[in-house]
Structure 1
Amino acid sequence: MGRTYATPERLSAWTGQPAPADAERLLARASEDVDDALLTAVYATDSAGMPTEPEVADALADATCAQVEYQLATGDDGTGTASRWDSVSIGPVSLSGRKDAPTAPGEVDLAPRAHRALSRAGLLPGVIW
């Protein structure tokens, strides 16, 4: 498992609700989404790849919590499947009507609040010179 930028306690403080039972898994997946959104961002890290500047660490934690909050609100379990179809049945299989989702395979469906947290910290858009 990769880096996780927020704790269940921080998620609870962010949402004002108790953290879900699978909060650690959701936070790990949301941290991966944040990492994917920051592929070209430049910031100082320690040997484990964690940000060393407190304002960057806070922005990544806020973005991670916002991503989980967004996924919970949209009914996503962190796999990204909830935003793909407006109706799904299992037997005998029926999928209908794609909803708005990332346009390219592998593109991150980043929560608007997560995007704003990263932008405020100067991490988006990432530019390599």
Structure 2
Amino acid sequence: MARQPYATPEQLATYTGQAAPADAERLLARAGEDIDSALLTAIYPVDEDGDPLDAKTAAALAAASCAQVEYWVAAGDDGTGAQGRWDSVSIGPVSLSGRAASTAGASGVELAPRAARELRRAGLTPGRVAAW
């Protein structure tokens, strides 16, 4: 059984200030998969379904999911990551040109900049701030 997305279409609409796209549930589910992949080594308390117990962590995961979908929608992507892979594309007769640079992090997941910031601010991604 697939786990529930971290955010709802209603939360997405609130986050973006626009109506959620027609396929918001699918996009949020895919965004949740990307967030999960980016956080494979993160440690935080979860319930038996794998959902975070801490409200701040749950809010950060929801915001990161919304940011990921917002990024895809702005880029014209459908959540597959195929959009933006080529710097030039023609359809007939097919012509692809130069691969666009990947923005994938150490996890191999291409997170939207805002999604990555949400996770970092919540302390869910690697890195520590030390007093100097």
Same fold (TM over 0.5): yes
Report the Cα offset of residue 70 of structure 1.
Answer: 0.7
2:6 match: secondary structure: coil
Counterpart for residue 72 of structure 1: 73
Q: Which residue of 1 aligns with 2:109?
A: 108
1:45 maps to which residue?
46
Alignment correspondent of 1:32:
33
Offset from partner CA, 1:40-89 (integer Å, 9 cap, x none): 10000111101010000000000000000011111111001012112223
**Gap runs ≥5 in structure 1:** none
Q: Look up the match of 2:62.
A: 61
Matched position secondary structure for 2:124: coil
1:83-94 matched pairs, under 5 angstroms = 83-94=84-95
Residues 83 and 101 in structure 1, CA contact (< 8 A), matched pair in contact too: no
The 4+ residue runs of structure 1 with deviation greater than 3 A are none
Q: Which structure is larger by alpha-carbon Rg, 1 or 2?
A: 2
Q: CA deviation at 1:126?
A: 7.1
Q: Any gaps of 5 or more consecutive residues in structure 2? A: none
Identity in percent? 63
Q: Which residue of 1 aligns with 2:17?
A: 16
* Residue 124 (structure 2) aligns with: 123
1:99 deviates by 1.3
Deviation at 1:3, TM superposition (A): 3.4
* Other structure's SS at 2:52 match: coil
Would the aligned equivalents of 1:3 and 1:49 in 2 still touch at CA under 8 Å? no
Any idea what the Cα deviations from partners look like across 1:6-50, whole Å, max 9, x if unmatched? 000000000000000000000000111101110110000111101
| Closer, same or farther: CA 49–126 of 1 in aligned 2, 3 Å | farther
- CA distance, structure 2, for counterparts of residue 41 and residue 83 of structure 1: 29
Mark the CA change 1:125 to 1:58 in structure 2 (over 3 Å): closer, same or farther. same
Q: Give the superposition deviation at 1:97.
A: 1.9
Give the TM-score taking structure 1 as reference length.
Answer: 0.90
What's the secondary structure of 2:48's corresponding residue? coil
The total of aligned residue pairs comes to 126
Taking structure 2 as the reference length, the TM-score comes to 0.88
SS of equivalent to 1:88: strand
